[in-house]
């Protein structure tokens, strides 16, 4: 019995690009180049996008702050007294008619708090002041809190304690 040697078929070679012949797909080098370029662009754009979102959030808080401030001043003009102190996220008693319809003190990412403190001995720099009025923003997002302070705090007395950022609006 005669055994025939095993003949393996010749290995297939990749087609050689010839002039006028079309190539299908992209090479690995081209794909990696595109991925690197897109990654670099995304890395450059992300911090600017995050900062823009933060400033937009702070502007939203500032708008709500101004809405509450105007409502409180209108309440005072009608009643000759300030609304009572409230809790974070709670509209103070009697203030709802002075706020826009469906306005809420609870927002996504923060809560508003109306502050009406009695200071029996007055303030150190204003001993005749018996009341201190302010609006607090309560948020666990420290970046948002600092962005609000940067936006509102310039000409307004303010302080931060934990997750609460309080802005003094009046020292009657």
DSSP 60-117: HHHHHHHHHHHHHHHHHHHHSSPPPP--TT-PPTTTGGGSPTT--SEETTEEEEEEEE
Which residue is associated with the tokens 């370029």? 37
Indicate whether 96 belongs to any domain: yes
Indicate whether 140 belongs to any domain: yes
Is the per-residue pLDDT at 172 higher than 60? no
Biggest CA pair distance of the chain:
123
Is the per-residue pLDDT at 122 higher than 90? no
Q: How far is CA 141 from CA 51, 54, 57, 91, in A?
A: 14, 10, 11, 22
pLDDT of residue 3: 65
pLDDT of residue 168: 85
pLDDT of residue 103: 93
Task: Quote the CA–CA distance of 37 and 94 in Å, as a whole number.
Answer: 58
Task: Quote the CA–CA distance of 41 and 17 in Å, as a whole number.
Answer: 33
- Confidence category of residue 80, pLDDT binned at 50, 70, 90: very high
Q: Report yes or no on whether pTM surpasses 0.75.
A: no
Indicate whether 118 belongs to any domain: yes
CB neighbour list of residue 120: distance below 8 Å, 6 or more residues apart:
130
pLDDT of residue 90: 92
List the domain range (segments joined by +) for residue 164.
56-170
Of all residues in the chain, what percent carry a pLDDT higher than 90? 39
Q: What is the pLDDT of residues 123-166, one digit of tens each?
A: 667 677 777 889 999 999 999 988 988 888 777 788 888 899 98
pLDDT of residue 4: 63
Indicate whether 114 belongs to any domain: yes
Dihedrals phi, psi of 136, to nearest 5 degrees = -105, 145
Indicate whether 100 belongs to any domain: yes
Q: What is the pLDDT of residues 41-77, one digit of tens each?
A: 887 777 778 888 889 999 999 999 999 999 999 999 9
- Comparing CA positions, the residue from 172, 143, 171 lying closest to residue 55 is 143
Q: How many domains does the chain have?
A: 1
Indicate whether 166 belongs to any domain: yes
């Amino acid at each position: 019995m005669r055994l025939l040697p095993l003949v393996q078929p010749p290995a297939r070679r990749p087609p050689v690009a010839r002039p006028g012949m079309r190539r299908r797909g992209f090479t690995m080098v081209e794909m990696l180049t595109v991925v690197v370029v897109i990654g670099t662009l995304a890395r450059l754009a992300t911090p600017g996008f995050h900062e823009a979102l933060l400033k937009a959030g702070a502007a939203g808080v500032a708008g709500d702050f101004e809405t509450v401030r105007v409502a409180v001043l209108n309440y005072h003009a009608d009643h000759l007294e300030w609304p009572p102190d409230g809790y974070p996220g709670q509209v103070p008693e009697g203030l709802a008619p002075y706020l826009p319809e469906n306005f809420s003190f609870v927002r996504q990412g923060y809560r508003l708090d109306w502050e009406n403190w009695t200071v029996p001995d007055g303030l150190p720099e204003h001993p005749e002041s018996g009341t201190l009025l302010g609006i607090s923003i309560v948020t666990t997002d420290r970046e948002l809190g600092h962005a609000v302070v940067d936006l509102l705090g310039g000409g307004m007395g303010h302080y931060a304690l934990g997750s609460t950022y309080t802005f003094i609006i009046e020292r009657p």
